[in-house]
Chain A
Amino acid sequence: DVKVTQSSRYLVKRTGEKVFLECVQDMDHENMFWYRQDPGLGLRLIYFSYDVKMKEKGDIPEGYSVSREKKERFSLILESASTNQTSMYLCASSPTGNQPQHFGDGTRLSIL
């Protein structure tokens, strides 16, 4: 069965910290995505990657960066965490082409 695993379900960090969110998929998918989910705003794309070491900005990349050194792993980095980055973060993967995305169960991140 398809599996996308996010390393933490809940995370609490302090303002100014560098924060790493990790995501691993076991489906050999080419594409991986990071979204944030906020009430009333749906899912907003932060970054996505269509190949190892390749990345593209989504709709809200400011304050974030990503790393994809291996095909199965996609990391989201908050360079200097701020309180407005408190949110639910969802990782997803998909095969190449117009194929449905498979999501992890999310990381609820609180920045104090």
Chain B
Amino acid sequence: QQQVKQSPQSLIVQKGGISIINCAYENTAFDYFPWYQQFPGKGPALLIAIRPDVSEKKEGRFTISFNKSAKQFSLHIMDSQPGDSATYFCAASIRNFNKFYFGSGTKLNVKP
């Protein structure tokens, strides 16, 4: 049983468009929600993260939107660029626990 469900599995976006990746969870004890970006041949790297006391966090072209009541969070990539083409993972963890639960990943392809 997957603790964090991620969709879509793959995404194709034109350059300049908005990429949106969604994640949903069930465990209300989760209180930290990071997104990771992985390029081919590399390990995942932290992109942006949010805690449930805020509904949105923005860093440059990347925004996390968080809906606590719906138990959903999403990553928005504005003005998507070919260099954003990568696999994106959402994750969730519980305070004072060291274990992270990862989504299944979304492969993003930004067409020039």
Interface residues of A (CB under 8 A from B): 4, 31, 33, 35, 40-45, 48, 50, 58, 90, 92, 94, 96-98, 100-106
Q: Does B69 contact A (CB under 8 A)?
A: no
Contact between A100 and B49 (Cβ–Cβ < 8 Å)? Answer: yes
Which one of B32, B34, B42, B100 has the highest number of Cβ atoms from chain A below 10 Å of its Cβ? B100
Q: How many residues of B contact A (CB 8 A)?
A: 27
Chain B positions within 8 Å of A, measured between CB atoms, are 2, 6, 9, 31-32, 34, 36, 41-46, 49, 89, 93-100, 102-105
Partner of B89, one of A40, A43, A45: A43
Give the docked Cα–Cα distance between A44 and B49 (Å).
20
Residue in A48, A96, A105 whose CB lies within 8 Å of B43: A105
- Complex CA gap A48/B98 in Å reads 9
Distance in Å from the Cβ of B62 to the closest Cβ of chain A? Answer: 15
| CB closest chain-B residue, reference A50 | B98
